[in-house]
Amino acid sequence: MAKDDTIKLASIVAVAENGVIGRDNDMAWRIPSEFAYFRDMTIGKPVIMGRKSFDALGKPLRDRPNIIVTRDTTWRREGVLVCHSLEDAIASARRIAAGRGATTVFIAGGAEIYRQAMPLIDILYLTEIHLAPEGDVIFPAFDRGQFDETARTFHKAHPGDEADYTITVLQRKAARQKAGATL
């Protein structure tokens, strides 16, 4: 069983060159090979999402605990754990991760949840999508100086992908820089 304090909190996001992450409560591109990367990274690990991102998917992500954050106390869906604050969602996700030996808990969007989680995360898995599509949801500005880039890999579009992309991994420089972090 993974000890709770060894469990990392990570955000995972794909961001276009103009900051867009979504359009009309959906993705603004179709890049199956990048989605496969998301799947490989998150499989078996608790994934936290805002209610709007869950609605965009329409069903739980398979083979991983889905924790959905909403302020609506009447909201229920089969196959997901519902939490009414991000703090509760993260605490629940850590407990679930500890129980199944997972060492990472993922924040999987959308913009509202990424923004609130930004001061708390240890790692940001940031895929830069080499497109500048129209969109109505923008990834929140953040201070890259608080992170070290520990990996960067360029991926040429596979057949069926709309664009090339670059996967980067940003690790927070020091735990004490988590200004305001209480979790």
| Contacts to ligand NAP by CB under 6 A | 13-14, 21-22, 25-27, 49-53, 56, 69-72, 75, 84-86, 108-113, 116, 137
Cβ closer to ligand NAP: 82 or 98? Answer: 82
Give the H/E segment covering residue 16: strand 8-16
Cβ closer to ligand NAP: 17 or 99? Answer: 17
Alpha-carbon distance 58 to 52, whole Å? Answer: 10
Cβ closer to ligand NAP: 86 or 98? Answer: 86
- Which residue is listed with tokens 């083979």? 63
CB of 143 to ligand NAP, least distance (A): 20
CB of 126 to ligand NAP, least distance (A): 9
Cβ closer to ligand NAP: 9 or 111? Answer: 111
CB of 88 to ligand NAP, least distance (A): 8
Cβ closer to ligand NAP: 32 or 99? Answer: 32
CB of 152 to ligand NAP, least distance (A): 18
CB of 100 to ligand NAP, least distance (A): 23
Alpha-carbon distance 97 to 105, whole Å? Answer: 7
Alpha-carbon distance 181 to 183, whole Å? Answer: 6
